[in-house]
Structure 1
């Protein structure tokens, strides 16, 4: 089953220095029916103005994945650790209790645009504080996984996160590990097809809940960039 959540249905924020779209309840945006999906707690697309910062704050025990779409960011924690990432790179932060984290748009002239996901972390797992990887120009890249296989970022949860980049007319079938997944279009239009349902169309910024399917087939109607989050638990 596929249930579409369009970009227009998402929460919105515009503070001038920060513009955001929230898939799930976040900050001032609250919907009791959308507090997350399985272990996926947050999926935001945010734009920080030149030189803007998100001030230090603490987090629950989550893995925070930042996918930089435009610009360059720096991430710091209260222990003095820091890492930078630019467009075409992703950073994974293993949030720890009692430690605060901040984010900065390094550029004084250009905006920073990025996707941010929070995934519940298993309490007994400990991973490196910061991890970084580059995105490759290929139809499917395993971006993050529980065991870090194929050079992916290592999560503290049974989740597989795929970065998809396809040309118009390309078709891709991805096997799923369990009963739930979430598909997010970043740019472009795609038809998502499962074994039990016909095609569902998603365009730029749209997402879709996927339930009780063994695989999903993506058919790009235009040049496409998307994320597929495989959430078996």
Structure 2
């Protein structure tokens, strides 16, 4: 089963210093039917104005994955740690109880565009506080996984995140670990199909809930960048 969700159906915010699109309930945007999906709590795309910052905040027990689409961001915590990520990188923060985190657009002239995911973390798991990986163009990259397989980021949850960068006409098949997944188009348009469902078209910013399928076939209608978030638990 594939249930698509158009980008224009998502929650939106425009504060001047911040423009955002929310796939699930977040901040002022609330939909009781969209409180996340399995262990995926948050999926936001946000644009920070030059020099803008998110002030320090604490998180629930989650891993926070930031995928930098354009710009350069600095992340600081209340323990004195800081790190920088830029275009073509993804940064994973294993948030800790009682620790606050802030985010800063380091450029005074250019916007920062990034995607942010929150994933429930198993409290018994301890991972490195900060991990990073390059997302430089490749048809397929295992971005994150429970065991850090294939040099991916290691999550504190049974989740696999696949990153795809496909040329027009290129296709790729993803094997899933369980009954649920979420597909997010970052840019471009693509067709997604499964053995049990007819093909559906997604364009830039669209998402899709995947249920009771064991694999997906993606076909790029234009140059496409997308995430497949495999959520068996």
CA RMSD for the aligned pairs? 0.5
Q: Which runs of 4+ in 1 moved over 4 A?
A: none
Q: Residues 101-121 of structure 1, C-alpha deviation per residue, up to 9 Å, x if partnerless?
A: 000000000000000000000
The size of the alignment, in residue pairs, is: 233
Structure 1 alignment gaps of length 5 or more = none
Q: How many angstroms does 1:149 deviate by? A: 1.1
Q: Which residue of 1 aligns with 2:61?
A: 61
Q: How many angstroms does 1:136 deviate by? A: 3.0
TM-score by length of 2: 0.99
For residue 198 of structure 2, give the secondary structure of its aligned residue in structure 1.
coil
Q: Which residue of 2 aligns with 1:216?
A: 216
Output the CA distance in 1 between the equivalents of 2:180 and 2:74.
Answer: 32
For residue 196 of structure 2, give the secondary structure of its aligned residue in structure 1.
coil
Q: Which residue of 2 aligns with 1:134?
A: 134
TM-score by length of 1: 0.99
Structure 2 alignment gaps of length 5 or more = none
Output the CA distance in 2 between the equivalents of 1:136 and 1:231.
Answer: 24
Output the CA distance in 1 between the equivalents of 2:206 and 2:134.
Answer: 24
Q: Which residue of 1 aligns with 2:32?
A: 32
Q: Residues 66-91 of structure 1, C-alpha deviation per residue, up to 9 Å, x if partnerless?
A: 00000000011100111100000000
Q: Which residue of 1 aligns with 2:152?
A: 152
Q: How many angstroms does 1:219 deviate by? A: 0.4
Q: How many angstroms does 1:41 deviate by? A: 0.1
Output the CA distance in 1 between the equivalents of 2:200 and 2:81.
Answer: 43
Does residue 77 of structure 2 align to residue 77 of structure 1? yes
Note if contact 2:89-2:136 (Cα within 8 Å) is conserved in structure 1. Answer: no
